[in-house]
Every structure is written in structure tokens, then in C-alpha cells.
Structure 1
């Protein structure tokens, strides 16, 4: 079960990292929206981990 959680966590981290990279390319590094992306990233990771928790059989 912990292996699945680790895989979901890694997948969520990769997704947020890729999203951040793409958005920073489009917006530029001086954009204040990047602060919002960090908050979005945390929310996305939490939602993905919660979804994984409910999908993993006990």
C-alpha cells in the first residue's frame, strides 16, 4: 500500500513540476501569478493524494 502512495505522490509532484515549468515559460519569471501557482501546486498534490488514498484497497 505504501508503494502505491509513493507512486501517487511522485506522480503528483511530477505533474505540478511540469505545470509550473510550462506556466513560467508562458508568463515569464517576473509574474506575480507564479505565487498563485505554488498555492495551486499544493492543492493539486493534496487532491491527488487524497484520491489515491481512497482508490487503494485496504
Structure 2
């Protein structure tokens, strides 16, 4: 089962409370920490570790 995380506040054009599934987690070598996909599978974004900590809640 994929990890579901939710935006705490609006970010990158997505409204607060938008739910994402964590598709991939990258290592520290990658400029993005994780690849996220909306739960309806319509949109996919990559976010940094700082963005995950600041904008998202598990």
C-alpha cells in the first residue's frame, strides 16, 4: 500500500487538503526527495525534503 500524504496549505497550484500517494522516494543525491501523485492519478509532482516537511502531513 502506498503512503498517503495531505497538503497542509496550498502549494504549487494545489489546494490545501489535496491528497497524494508517495510513488517514489529518492536518495539524498536527487534534487527532489519524493515523487507524488494525486490520489486520482491525474497529476504527478516531485518535491524536496524541505517541501515535504513544510507543506505535507502523513
Structure with more helix by fraction? 1
TM-score by length of 2: 0.23
Q: Which has the higher contact order (CA 8 A, sep 6+)?
A: 1
Q: Normalized per residue, which structure has more strand?
A: 2
Give the structure-1-normalised TM-score: 0.23
Larger Rg: 1
